[in-house]
Amino acid sequence: MVKKTVYGIIIGVISAAAAIALWQCGLLERFEARTWDLRVQKLSRPSRLTDSIRLIFIDQASLDWVNKEMAYRWPWPRSLYQPIMAYCKRQGAKVVAFDILFTEPSSYGVEDDQNFVSALTNAPPFVAALFIGRESGNATNWPANVQSFRFEASGLAGWLRSFGPKAHIILPKASFPISELTTNAALLGNVEAMADPDAIYRRIKPFVVFDGRAVPSLGIAAWLAASTNQSVFFSEESVRIGGRRIKLDRRGAAVINFRGPSGTHKRISAASVIQSELKLQAGEIPPAKDMPSLKDCYVFVGCNAPGLLDNRPTPVGRNYPGMEIHATVLDDLLIRDFMRDVPAGPAGTLAVGLAIFWGIIILIGRSARDNVIAILLSLPLPAGICVLAYLRGYWMPFMLPETATVFALSSAVLFNYATEGRQKRFIRNAFKQYLSGAVIEELVKHPERLTLGGEQRTLSIFFSDLQGFTGISEGLNPQELTSLLNEYLTAMTDIIQEEGGTVDKYEGDAIIAFWNAPLPQEDHAGCAVRAALRCQAQLAKMRPELHQRIGKDLFMRIGINTGPVVVGNMGSHNRFNYTILGDAANLASRLEGINKQFGTYTIVSETTFQGMGNAFAARELGLVAVVGRKTPVRIFEPMTHEEWNARRLALEQFSQALKAFYAGQFKEALSSFEKIQDREKASAAYAARCMQLMAAPPSKWEGVWVAGEK
């Protein structure tokens, strides 16, 4: 029983790791999105404040009535919106938001625009639409004649730094309404909404930034225009609007909590509103007495006629008017229940827990009947958990725990029918690709030193990559590329194995290796650093000859971190990989990429620096917050003592400048960095960062270099 439990845990961990890998690679996203749409369709319900939102639609009936009675075709003269605004005022609406762009003067003349503007002076607060995007728009700067927004915003600079460029929070182009409208509008609201990769609209960015100004989406702007508390506070993962907190994803978007299919928010035909107001102004009885009241309501005016092309695909319908998206956003803000993504940690923990549980249950089952019952119970369980999470306001990934469960069930069933090979043969087959023959024979003699299936251990992890290799490979034919890679990887692998390292895998030109597994190594951090410096020296020797062959110089970036990871054989019994999983490995990968920002080629973490002792010299490079980690890490550039002595003066000047940078003395730091930036690329990088910080001083300085990319 104990042995099967252990095997069940191993199977569960491997199954969950495989599912998490698929999830992290994005291979489950398309299926996950479909399951989310199904949840929304089945579980979405109106909120208690849904009835406080009204939609005045320019529908096909309105277009037909205006054409018949007034002989106007679309676009209408803007004087036709005058009775709509007057009716909203008469009814006591809180705010009127137009989901219609008025970016050009009226084709009916200046007087038409003036009539529209005059209607706004004696009407509820008016929100005008503008469009901000990446490709469309005729403005690249905020027009001088357009007023700034009337709300108090704080924390914007830090908020923007928390997102990478792929988030597209800062957008370069905009289309503004005519100046007459911007002068009289309470706020401007962005009507652009960005779809998910499958072209379905599930999320909204409450704010985007154009020319340094935070611009709310139309639904958010409607609330701000009607509210007395117009404060907006931006923080790393959320935005607070008048005390209402909206949780954001890594792209600065919020998950929309849809209230039902199109039509959930009460609609009124624009033709009915115009007729009613004209009748009332003439002292007559309006034709539609049973129209919904607008008293204390948020009113949106927009289009849903088929020919006006404002329908968007959403989880609740493939022809959902864009105005209803903004109305739903306002609904979510009013009721304070935007959906929230379940963080990766809890989602991964659930997948691991289910995989381990069902892996153990299958292995300890006494009969096929027990296994069938377990399978029938296990497969619907993730769906039930996701439904409960939805009802609590969370998007819990379904495909991750379901895939982990399926993998665990399949692996456990196969394991029950598999036969075990001899231990020595297993060890030789498992490690012949990664270890030297001497190490394998030592494992064969002492198999108790190896825990098969996975164990947590502190390793020194090595990630390397060739600088600009994609461009280099494009200039080579397949035979030349294969020959180059084989020669390079052989040279580097020989050094790694000579230093006692285990090669995890090759990913193109990248090498992943680690020390202190499968056999323990007392000086694993020093061995990893020695291997890195030897690899750099060997590549330097090879560089002239390689340059003659390919016409370019090869440079390698290396990142090393020492920390706890799960290490072991992961896969099936017939096809597996001795590999590592864990945050410490992810950090090593990030450190390799950080070299690009500092102009260095080898970076180690503080734990590796402490572990390598006095075997090598090193200079402190900084305190860095890498992508995907909240806690900053102190990083170092290792080197031989001979190199340190040769560069001593510049390195000591760099150290003093770095102290000033940590203290927030950017002017002094800049002066020191500039003196040595011609000799030290890291100094040039810091000089540029100092100028950025002097131009936009941070509200809270902790000495951390925030990495904007991996």
Reply yes or no on whether the pLDDT at 150 is more than 70: no
364 vs 482 pLDDT, higher one: 482
- Give 161's pLDDT tier (boundaries 50, 70, 90): confident
Give the pair of three-digit tokens for residue 166: 């792929």
Q: Residue 26 class from Cβ within 10 Å (0-12 exposed, 13-18 middle, 19+ buried)?
A: exposed
Give me the mean pLDDT over the 551-575 stretch.
86
Supply the pLDDT for residue 444: 59
pLDDT digits (tens, 9 = 90+) for 348-372: 999 999 999 988 888 887 667 888 8
DSSP string, 566-614: EEEEEE-SSSEEEEEESHHHHHHHHHHHHHHHHT-SEEEEHHHHHHHTT
Supply the pLDDT for residue 606: 95
Q: How far apart are alpha carbons 590 and 557 in whole angstroms?
A: 11
136 vs 208 pLDDT, higher one: 208
Q: Is 404 helix (H, G, I), strand (E, B) or coil?
A: helix
Q: Do the bridges between strand 311-314 and strand 317-321 make them parallel or antiparallel, or are there none, so unpaired?
A: antiparallel
pLDDT digits (tens, 9 = 90+) for 253-281: 999 999 999 999 999 999 999 999 898 88
Supply the pLDDT for residue 575: 63
Reply yes or no on whether the pLDDT at 421 is more than 50: no
Q: Is 291 helix (H, G, I), strand (E, B) or coil?
A: coil
Q: Do the bridges between strand 556-571 and strand 502-507 make them parallel or antiparallel, or are there none, so unpaired?
A: unpaired
Give me the mean pLDDT over the 83-107 stretch.
93
Query: Please, what's the largest Cα pairwise distance for the chain?
Result: 103
Q: Do the bridges between strand 510-515 and strand 502-507 make them parallel or antiparallel, or are there none, so unpaired?
A: antiparallel
Supply the pLDDT for residue 81: 92
Supply the pLDDT for residue 422: 45
Mean pLDDT of the chain, nearest integer: 88
Supply the pLDDT for residue 576: 63
CA atoms within 13 A on the CB side of 17: 24
Cite the beta strand spans of 286-393 per DSSP E: 298-303, 311-314, 317-321, 340-341
DSSP code for 375 = H
pLDDT digits (tens, 9 = 90+) for 587-607: 999 999 999 999 999 999 999
Torsion of CA 223, 225, 228, 232, to 10 degrees: 70
Percent of the chain past pLDDT 90, that is, above it, reads 59
Reply yes or no on whether the pLDDT at 208 is more than 70: yes
397 vs 283 pLDDT, higher one: 397
pLDDT digits (tens, 9 = 90+) for 438-461: 556 656 565 555 555 678 899 999
Supply the pLDDT for residue 242: 85
Reply yes or no on whether the pLDDT at 492 is more than 80: yes
252 vs 433 pLDDT, higher one: 252
Supply the pLDDT for residue 471: 85
pLDDT digits (tens, 9 = 90+) for 644-690: 999 999 999 999 999 999 999 999 999 999 999 988 899 999 999 99
- Give 527's pLDDT tier (boundaries 50, 70, 90): very high
Percent of the chain past pLDDT 70, that is, above it, reads 92
Q: Do the bridges between strand 126-133 and strand 317-321 make them parallel or antiparallel, or are there none, so unpaired?
A: unpaired
- Give 474's pLDDT tier (boundaries 50, 70, 90): confident
Residue 521 CB neighbours (<10 A):
18
Reply yes or no on whether the pLDDT at 6 is more than 90: no
Residue 107 CB neighbours (<10 A):
9
Supply the pLDDT for residue 518: 82
Cite the beta strand spans of 273-425 per DSSP E: 298-303, 311-314, 317-321, 340-341, 394-395
Reply yes or no on whether the pLDDT at 420 is more than 50: no
Cβ-contact 36, 395 below 8 angstroms: yes
pTM here?
0.58
Supply the pLDDT for residue 531: 97
Supply the pLDDT for residue 454: 74
